[in-house]
Amino acid sequence: MTEKRRPIFNNPLARKCLREAFRHCMQNQPFSIDAIVMLPNHIHTIWTLPEGDADYSKRWGIIKKNFTQSWLKQGGSEVSISKSK
């Protein structure tokens, strides 16, 4: 889910950054994508991880971090952080 459910995946830059983030992760933490559905503010995926490797959350962490860094570096906007966060 995107921050505050912003529909950033409508943006070509966001889709490019996401593709790059997946590729980066897959080079370091291999897995295959069996299915993916991208909606404006979130994505659904089905992956196959290597035998004996169940570290799904590590991969998402790498993808999210790489996406955010790439998005901001290439001019994507950041949502203001509320006082509660």
Domain with residue 50: its CATH number is 3.30.70.1290
Residue labelled with tokens 């992760």: 25
Q: Who has greater pLDDT, 44 or 81? A: 44
Largest CA distance in the chain: 43
18 is a domain residue: yes
Closest CA to 63 of 21, 14, 13: 21
Number of folded domains in the chain? 1
Task: Give the strand pairing for 32-39 and 42-48.
Answer: antiparallel
Residues 27-31 have a mean pLDDT of: 95
Closest CA to 14 of 38, 46, 44: 38
* pLDDT tens-digit readout, 38-80: 999 999 999 999 999 999 999 999 999 999 999 999 887 776 5
Q: Which residue segment(s) compose the domain that 46 sits in?
A: 3-73
Residues 24-44 have a mean pLDDT of: 95
Count of alpha carbons within 13 Å of 17, Cβ hemisphere only?
Answer: 21
